[in-house]
Structure 1
């Protein structure tokens, strides 16, 4: 990646965006989806391991570049923090760490525990910071609200996915409760914005897919916390399917939009729904959910291939890391 000439006067590193961490979320989501699918198709285990190390490598590269940006251009980071849309992407950093921890849990439990502690602590800090930013004296306009604002809430319900397995049950319930209340509040606000105000700009329209993530991840967290599929778990799963269907209807519109980094928002929600379907199938023996999980995994694989190709092309054409 060339980071030296975003414009004639400014280095590309200065414009390296925090939404790049959504790439790691997508790769780790793919890792966990393949791992979930391996219970049905054992050959997917190797692919899951490859995806895990690819995601870890991507996180290291992106983290190093963003830290370099923070050191060399601290005002650029402050500008992103004050940006009404990019502010919500900062918890993508902690979510990435938590997903890496979850992926490593079965292979390297001690390392996974350490990463989970770091990710959970960072997620807690970022939740407080982001929500404080939302309710500060600065007024946000309705048009600045997008489904990307769900990312902090999603991060909180990611914590229990591995946290419950590591034995941090009460702490996991705290994060789960926090994520659920913010999901309900933001869902109301986002639908108000979608129904009664101007459409989401084309560049940010792919973030609509994030609507799928909160109920899907909440289902995974809840089942890990309770160990069973009860009526509330079924409600969460089926809300996820509802949003998946609603987003599927928007595919023709999505297909016409030019590529931008927010397109990576497509990946993790589809992965979360895939994992949830396979988990439900494993817990209940539902063959129908095996089929649903398989179809979603195929869609996810296709989306990931497309995203990687489009991202590489965008980087080669110097369309990323440029001034807005």
Structure 2
């Protein structure tokens, strides 16, 4: 027994294992929270800077895939292309198509996130006379990948369904843009049609016509081709009047002048797909694109 007056002795036992584990768990959760916060900030930063103009990447890749698929198809005829091109492995074309599809899907997902989180910025971009033209780019890219798809043949149900999914937005954008030109007067026409990016809308109609011709839908292809060419004439005259020199176009838009080549080139291919042969009209459009290319080269050197 303890004597009276002696102090009580208290033994304090500290479980260091539990304390260490709690500290580690808290530190891990804190670091995970920091990582998630930094990732969210990075994603928001990317989405605020991302715009529809980035679909030019998928547009160029899709054009390259369609070009190489055409080369591979024509390489079977030894009289049209050298024998070296006929030995080009088809795996390379499939790899390029897969990479283009991955790029387009990634860009589409990013823009869908931008529409969800920053819809007001998308609306401002849609109302901009230059930015609205790039809304055609993703649908053109999908149509190009559809035409060059190695696993989807024309005249199949899947091809037709995908064509409707990708072509209808092009027509809707046509109605929106060209309706403004007709209803809001000359000022809107000069500001909207007076920049070279407006030719992207024409290319959308022509690519849709080419894809429809591959399915055998000649009437639908002629309709899209007619709409595209009529508006191309309007754009060409409007831009030609503005381009009395390079002073009429801002510096940032001068590289877009090479869309002058794209529209008649795609029109030549679309008309060849509609009539089934590279006739006089296709040759005229092809020679027009060559002439415009030489004109732009001379203009850039001045």
Superposition TM-score tier, normalisation by shorter sequence: 0.7 to 0.9
Residue 248 of structure 2 aligns to a residue whose secondary structure is coil
Whether the 8 Å contact between 2:129 and 2:191 is mirrored in structure 1 is no
- Structure 1 residues 58 and 197, CA gap change in structure 2 (3 angstroms): closer
Structure 1 residues 99 and 3, CA gap change in structure 2 (3 angstroms): farther
Deviation of residue 215 (structure 1)? 0.8
Q: Once the 2 structures are TM-superposed, how far is the Cα of residue 86 of structure 1 from its aligned partner? A: 0.7
For the pair 1:67 / 2:116, whether they are aligned, the reply is no
Rounded to whole Å, the distance in 2 between the matches of 1:66 and 1:53 is: 20
Using the TM superposition, give the Cα deviation of residue 84 of structure 1 relative to its aligned residue in structure 2, in angstroms: 1.2
SS state of the match for residue 11, structure 1? helix
* Residue 202 of structure 2 corresponds to residue 147 of structure 1: no
**Structure 1 counterpart of 2:255:** 206
- What residue in structure 1 maps to residue 232 of structure 2? 183
Unaligned ranges ≥5, structure 2: 1-38, 76-80
Greater gyration radius: 2
The answer on 1:115 being equivalent to 2:167 is no
Check conservation: 1:91, 1:127, Cα contact below 8 A.
no
In structure 2, the CA distance between the partners of 1:66 and 1:241, relative to structure 1 (3 Å rule), is: same
Following TM superposition, by how much is the alpha carbon of 1:197 offset from its aligned partner in structure 2, in angstroms?
7.9
Q: What per-residue deviation string (whole Å, max 9, x for no partner) do you get for residues 76-134 of structure 1?
A: 01100111111111111221121111111x53124433321211111111111122234
For residues 99 and 246 of structure 2, the distance between their equivalents in structure 1, rounded to whole angstroms, comes to 40
Q: C-alpha separation between the residues in 2 aligned to 1:32 and 1:246?
A: 26
How far did residue 44 of structure 1 move? Answer: 5.5
> Scaled by the length of structure 2, what TM-score is found?
0.75
Larger mean Cα displacement after TM superposition, 56-65 or 112-121: 112-121
* CA distance in 1 between partners of 2:51 and 2:271 (Å): 32
Greater relative CO (CA pairs within 8 A, separation 6+): 1
Partner of 1:224: 273
1:46 counterpart residue number:
91
TM-score, normalised via structure 1 length: 0.70
Asked whether the equivalents of residues 150 and 214 of structure 1 are also in contact (C-alpha less than 8 Å), the reply is yes
Check 1:220–1:17 CA distance in 2 against 1; reply closer, same or farther (3 A cut). Answer: same
- Total equivalences in the alignment: 248
Contact 1:216 1:236 in 2 (8 A): yes
Instruction: Within 5 Å, give how 1:27-46 maps onto structure 2.
Output: 27-38=61-72, 39=75, 40=81, 41-42=85-86, 43=88, 45-46=90-91
Q: Give the aligned partner of residue 300 of structure 1.
A: none
Counterparts in 2 of 1:58 and 1:93: CA distance versus 1, 3 Å: same
Cα 1:197–1:51 shift into 2, 3 Å: closer
Q: Is the CA contact (8 Å cut-off) linking 1:30 and 1:48 kept in structure 2?
A: no
Name the CA shift for 1:141/1:223 in 2 (closer, same or farther; >3 Å): closer
Find the aligned partners of 2:214 and 2:113 in 1 and give their Cα distance. 35
Instruction: Report the Cα offset of residue 196 of structure 1.
Output: 6.6
For the Cα contact (< 8 Å) 2:181–2:189, is it kept in 1? no
**SS where residue 188 of structure 2 aligns?**
coil
Q: Secondary structure at the match of 2:244?
A: helix
The question of 1:82 aligning with 2:82 is answered no
Report Cα offsets for 1:151-177 as digits up to 9, x if no partner: 111110111212111122111110000
Cα pair 1:34 1:47 within 8 Å, conserved: no
Aligned residue number for residue 237 of structure 1 = 286
Residues 51, 134 of structure 1: CA spacing in aligned structure 2 closer, same or farther, 3 A cutoff?
farther
1:23 to 2:57 alignment: yes
